[in-house]
Structure 1
Amino acid sequence: MNTGNKITHGFSKNLLAAAIFATLQSAAYADELPKPSLETDEILVVTGSRSEEKLEDVAGAVSVITAEEIDIQVSNSLSDIFRYDPSISSTGSQGQAQTLSVRGIGGNRVVYIKDGRRLNDAYAGGGGFLVGRGYLDVSQVSQVEVAKAAASPLFGSDGLGGVIVLTTPDPDDILQGQVNALSLQAGADSVADERSLGIQAAKQFSGSQASIQLTGRKGNETQNFDESLPEFDYDSTAVLAKWAIPLASKNQLKFTLDHYQQTNEQFREAPEQTENKDKQTAFSVDFLNNHSNWLTDTQHWQFYISDYEQRSDQVVQGAGRTGPYIDNNDYRFEQRILGARWQGQTQLTNDSFQQDVVFGLDVDHYDTKRPRFKTRTAMDGTVLQDNEPQKAFPGAETWLAGLFLQDNIQLKNAPLKFIAGVRVDHYRMTAQDNELYDMALLSDIRETALSPKLAAIYSFSNNVRVYAQYAEGFKIPPHDQAYQNHGIEPFYAILPNPDLDPESSRSLEAGFKFNNNDTRWDLSAFYSKFDDFIDTEVVDTSPTYIPGVERVEYQYVNKEEVTIKGVEASVSHWFNDSVQVLTSVAYTTGKDETTDNYLTTLSPLSGSTSLGYHSDNWYIRGVLTAVDSMSKVPADDSIQTPGYATVDLLAGITLADWQINLAARNLTDKYYVPYQSVAGLKSDALTEQYSQPGRSVGVQVNYRF
């Protein structure tokens, strides 16, 4: 492997096991900065029951990142948020497509929920990234939750490896009891030469509340260590508007408009250039009914429409048998989702137990298209192709419908809580008529999936709990994999496979939780088995008219079995009212049981070390992040990566209505290449382009009127 002489090779696992990770929990908009809270019961999450409950009552590991933590880390993208969480890895960076992987499972195998609605699917893009997800502005997020076990019993398809739930603030969250609220935020980050400006405003009217958040960003590409990557510019605009109307009996009607768009422009040697535009607009209506009846204590209705479009306009040069030419490519991905939700909740009690029952219905309709057009012009001006359609995969229409029920049962005569849940999903996917394809090869896909969940929490005391959980997940075959049918003749072709089975998972997790006024321990161990994993396979070869060249035919097929297992641990301790230390370590391993090869989606043993001092109106915290070398690779000739460690500094101060946050990253200017960026490459591959930025600084200033 060629990674340059600046990489430090490996480091002791004993050192890594002692590494400490800190998540600063500090209010950013107060006259004083309160100490970060240790009490897990102050954190409310929805990933465990699809309704608010205390984090300590969830039978499973959940990572929670709040708006305050996002600001303190000076995070500018979805991948930035989890910089210090060793159980969640990411690829991509500011201004680019990004992917998140939870315990070695990512992409479309993790369901994304934002304010109750599904985010759009992703499709394979350049550089191995999935395009179509993660296009949002993190400055408009109030909390991110990541449940790391199978989430299909509550959230349906795509919950194979977990769920990522993003919540944005409602008007009353911004108002905080005031009649008006207004704040301005400005930021700069050297890692991508990014500048940002945002405004957040809310107002209490006589019969309603309204809020609006506007954010704009401009920047350049995130460079590698030696700053040798092709340059591009990006700018983004995000608008989030909400209108909440209180009704009788504490009911509420809420309207939400969520819009995000980003443009990337890259200029190479004339005439080559690329312009990518990503645009997502969603509108939702929520009705919360708090009037109890014979069936429910509360009901939540939601109707939404979401439109996503990615358009790539490319000008590229090439040469063929007829000579040199210039291609103008118009490539798009379009998806519209219409969704409806109904969820009811009721409490039942008797002398033996208390039950909190959550049940409901989800229905979603996906309309997906992948139009691609090419105009080819010879150097003498002759038009060889005039906006001709190109093959990729035809459009698809998908229906998803699911019924779910979960019962949280607390025994009154014993410190024991049981959670039992089940969901039944039915889906249908149909290829849309397209003259480019042989529709006889693209049959409908219809399946029904059953996803159960069983869990228990035993409390030895108010401070000590143990839990165990079993859950199953599934994912429907993606439209682009089932119906993909294109290639470059005579070299290769990708054949459709409408006989793909859904991917499924079975996960076991056990954990230990301890917390008191000064110390908190969290420990979890997990084992997950994934069946019918979808991957590409060579299904046939045939000779071509070119001597020595064969046509290779690929197809997406189901693999028999994949297993992933690991452990995670974190310890937080306050030495006194001002000094905090926190430890977090994660280890994951997994194999394709058919071939006995390690998976490329895994991350090496990693953790972080943090020590911070918190005063009334300022804080300072140092973070050491450490990653072990990666030698568990699929084959002998697969790339391996050495270990590395980086040092960051986080600091902030509150001055009256001003809040300033500063993040200085990679203070030692360390050269390193994350395994996630190069996994699957050959051992002799050049890796300089995948190296991470050197020393960088980000700053964020907020003024609250």
Structure 2
Amino acid sequence: MINANTVSQKEHSPSSQTVKKTITIGLLLSSATCATGIAHAQDGATLLERITVVGTRTEVSVQDNPASVTVVDEEQLEREAPESIAEMLRDVPGVEVVDASAAGMKRIRIRGESSARVTILVDGQEITDHSTYGTPILIDPANVERIDVVRGPASVLYGARAIGGVVNIITKGGADKPVQVELGGTYYSGSKGWQGWAAVSGTVGDFDYRLSGGLDDHGDRKVPEGQYTSTGYLDGTSFSNDNLYLHLGYAFGEDRNHYVALKAEQHRLEAESWTDPSYLEYPITDFRVDLPQRDRRKIGLYYDGKDLGPVLRNVHLDVYYQTVDRLFENQVVMAPLPGRTVDVTSTSDDRITNWGGTAQLDLEFHPDHYTIVGLNYLADNLVTDKTSTTVTTGFGPFPIITSSLSADDASIHTLSAFAQNEWSFAEDFKLTTGLRYYHIETDLNDTTDPARADYEGRSDDRAVVAAGLTYTGLPDTTLRALYSEGYVTPTLLQLFTNTTAGRGVLTYGNPDLEPETSRNFEAGARYDAYGIVLDAAAFYTEAKNYVTTVPCTAGAGCPGGATAADYLYKNADAATTYGVELLAEYAAPNTSLTPYVSGAWMRRELQFPTYSTYNSNTPELSGRAGVKYEGEVQGINIWADLFVRAATGTKLTSLNADTSRLETERLPGWGTLNFAFGGSFGEDDRVQFAVHLNNLTNKEYRSSFDELPGTGRSIEATLKMMF
């Protein structure tokens, strides 16, 4: 395998709160870039015994990792309905799933940070997005071997977009036998949807391969009748996908310690978008968004050399080329006066192109030191064509039609060098320190905006550091402390593109934006013995220079011709986040039962130029608790899981630009009762099945303002066969 590495209620903002912050200052981890590794968890390994490279870029168990990491292995993935990768991460402590009103484009937030501040990697190689929403996780779950998650800033490790964290999706290689055929399908009653996939894979001598394809189609989401719908369905939540995937690998060398691989992917998406009824307030009478195209294509080449010598231990090289084609259509209709309407239709036709690669050397100059050094390069280009047409009626006998066309071609070129050293400086102590230096060139290659036609580009240089300490001197226990830095470059859209998407308001790009940055302090403990698995962490993060939009009032810096109704991207906001994350389970002796709990307590304060608030659209408590069963019945391996998923209510306070008053929207707390079961039978467990009975009490709920109302009582049934 590759070692790649609501109805809203409004009020004045509450007075400022004084919160005692307990900060355990430590030291963190590593460094590096893209390309992480594919490592297999051993059969029967506990959650903390699984091996990952995502926390340190060297192979280490979750137990002994200095970072907050979670590994979702193949066995866990096979027990979930494979609708999306994001759904498979919903119960990771500190992780929230968001979809920004489009059911087919799910993203994740980590520790309250927006999806735009989370890095998404596929086999260690980055997917960029350049939207205000962040990168959706669009990859076929049937081709995923494991998912590694880093919670918290990780820019030393994984590039200039990782303030919230990192998700690395490792795809599958060939099966162990010469030929293995896989067929699978899932039915989703909550969307009257279906999903099917087929694959052929195997290993012949030193050669391994996998070829697969998949299709899915979902109708509108079924939800309880209530404030969001009177029909029981959310209009505008249908979507469909199709996928193709190819893996070819070859091992060579006397010890078969050299491995090369080629991987190719294609993912195509069509999706609608739901409109919150509360959004249709005066003067807006209609609002619609369609996403008829979101296509990703990628080809990647990888080389790994393992155990090459006493000093040069490992070598990793990878290169890739990737395109994302997307089409966005937005219509908003307003009736500012009786008999008068304003209809604004906007489109955006974009292509994102990524190409680059990573080189990493693992060195062992001394038995107490393990060092990695490397280089990473990423060329990230955005070509966008935008149209906007406004039709105004009621001001005379004929409609007034105005339109605009704009086009931009912009790019970011990032070259970074990294180094990390793991130092076992005393018995049971290990110190891992890392440094990464970035050189970033930003260019506006072509534009229809005359005000920016002479823009000559700019360059930025920045170093970020991290350090981590682990102590393993207590039986079956690892104590850890960390410090890490986060760094997010502005997107090309924020820098250069003027857009009228959303409510039809014009927002100007700003080429003078500065990067967003953060500092994270964290301490944790892990324990694994006597059937008890415990992973707990406390964290405190400060972030600044958040990119936001501000009205084009005097002194805002908007271009000539801007009106007071227009907006500008600007560095103006900051955030302070702190909390505790917990995962615990207990395999009760002499039974097949394992009670468990996972979740997070988190507080997040947003700081704006004129006010601050803890009402940041983040639940204070969220998580899952239940009991699992593992056993065998009539020769069938059976598992079952009865659990509650719940969160406290959320609030979101914002400044009304028209009234200059603070307004607070609320969502109530919620909890759903769920039951899942499944199993496998036949030689090598060739037949696998899983059934999920979701939201048994048909609870109406909405997790956050960034997520659609939840599906009502529903069934998901999956069957997979291998030959």
- The whole-number CA distance in structure 2 between the counterparts of 1:631 and 1:316 is 26
Secondary structure of the residue aligned to 2:221 is coil
Deviation at 1:254, TM superposition (A): 0.7
Secondary structure of the residue aligned to 2:699 is coil
The equivalent residue for 1:237 is 242
Matched, 1:280 2:280: no
* Contact 1:300-1:342 at 8 Å conserved across structures: yes
The equivalent residue for 2:606 is 592
Matched, 1:645 2:671: yes
Cα 1:342–1:599, aligned 2, differ >3 Å: closer, same or farther? farther
Secondary structure of the residue aligned to 1:639 is strand
The equivalent residue for 1:537 is 550
Secondary structure of the residue aligned to 1:527 is strand
Q: What is the correspondence of 1:191-270 to structure 2 with a 5 Å cutoff?
A: 191-226=190-225, 227-231=232-236, 233-249=238-254, 250-264=257-271
Q: 1:154 aligns with which of 128, 152, 157?
A: 157
Instruction: Show CA shifts across 1:453-486 (max 9, x none).
Output: 1110011334112100001111112111122335
Secondary structure of the residue aligned to 1:85 is coil
Structure 2 residues not aligned, in runs of 5+: 1-5, 10-41, 226-231, 276-284, 556-561, 656-661
The equivalent residue for 1:334 is 351
Instruction: Show CA shifts across 1:380-400 (max 9, x none).
Output: xx99989x7624x72211100
Cα 1:425–1:146, aligned 2, differ >3 Å: closer, same or farther? same
The equivalent residue for 1:694 is 712
* Contact 1:539-1:555 at 8 Å conserved across structures: yes
- The whole-number CA distance in structure 2 between the counterparts of 1:528 and 1:314 is 36
Which letter does structure 2 place at the counterpart of 1:182?
Answer: V
Which letter does structure 1 place at the counterpart of 2:92?
Answer: D
Deviation at 1:56, TM superposition (A): 1.4
Q: What is the correspondence of 1:152-551 to structure 2 with a 5 Å cutoff?
A: 152-171=155-174, 175-176=175-176, 178-226=177-225, 227-231=232-236, 233-249=238-254, 250-264=257-271, 274=290, 276-290=292-306, 292=308, 296-312=312-328, 330-350=347-367, 354-373=368-387, 390-391=405-406, 394-411=408-425, 413-439=426-452, 442=455, 444-486=457-499, 493-540=506-553, 551=564
Secondary structure of the residue aligned to 2:480 is strand
Task: State the identity %.
Answer: 17
Instruction: Show CA shifts across 1:549-596 (max 9, x none).
Output: 973242222136421111112221011251101122301112234533
* Contact 2:546-2:574 at 8 Å conserved across structures: yes
Secondary structure of the residue aligned to 2:513 is coil
Q: 2:704 aligns with which of 640, 650, 675?
A: 675
Secondary structure of the residue aligned to 1:394 is strand
Matched, 1:70 2:77: yes
Decide which moves more: 55-64 or 466-475: 55-64
**How many matched pairs?**
639
Secondary structure of the residue aligned to 1:669 is coil
Deviation at 1:188, TM superposition (A): 0.6
Instruction: Show CA shifts across 1:320-352 (max 9, x none).
Output: 9999999886521210011121011122334xx
The equivalent residue for 1:58 is 65
The equivalent residue for 1:662 is 691
Cα 1:154–1:221, aligned 2, differ >3 Å: closer, same or farther? same
Deviation at 1:319, TM superposition (A): 9.6
Deviation at 1:646, TM superposition (A): 0.7
Deviation at 1:84, TM superposition (A): 2.4
- The whole-number CA distance in structure 2 between the counterparts of 1:273 and 1:477 is 25
Cα 1:121–1:296, aligned 2, differ >3 Å: closer, same or farther? farther
Which letter does structure 2 place at the counterpart of 1:366?
Answer: D
Deviation at 1:421, TM superposition (A): 0.5
Instruction: Show CA shifts across 1:131-169 (max 9, x none).
Output: x53222222211111111211111120012211111111
Deviation at 1:231, TM superposition (A): 4.0
Instruction: Show CA shifts across 1:390-446 (max 9, x none).
Output: 24x7221110011011111224x5111111101001101111222234215855231
Deviation at 1:108, TM superposition (A): 2.1
Structure 1 residues not aligned, in runs of 5+: 5-33, 543-548, 679-689
Decide which moves more: 289-298 or 618-627: 289-298
Q: What is the correspondence of 1:27-176 to structure 2 with a 5 Å cutoff?
A: 37-38=45-46, 40-41=48-49, 43-92=50-99, 95-124=103-132, 129-130=133-134, 132-171=135-174, 175-176=175-176
Secondary structure of the residue aligned to 1:482 is helix
* Contact 1:99-1:106 at 8 Å conserved across structures: no
Which letter does structure 2 place at the counterpart of 1:693?
Answer: T
TM-score by length of 1: 0.83
Which letter does structure 2 place at the counterpart of 1:567?
Answer: V
- The whole-number CA distance in structure 1 between the counterparts of 2:583 and 2:47 is 15
Instruction: Show CA shifts across 1:92-119 (max 9, x none).
Output: 2885222210000122211111112111
- The whole-number CA distance in structure 1 between the counterparts of 2:118 and 2:421 is 24
Deviation at 1:300, TM superposition (A): 0.9
* Contact 1:602-1:676 at 8 Å conserved across structures: no
Which letter does structure 1 place at the counterpart of 2:386?
Answer: R
Matched, 1:557 2:570: yes
- The whole-number CA distance in structure 1 between the counterparts of 2:139 and 2:313 is 34
Cα 1:416–1:394, aligned 2, differ >3 Å: closer, same or farther? same
- The whole-number CA distance in structure 2 between the counterparts of 1:553 and 1:375 is 16
The equivalent residue for 2:659 is none
* Contact 2:55-2:68 at 8 Å conserved across structures: no
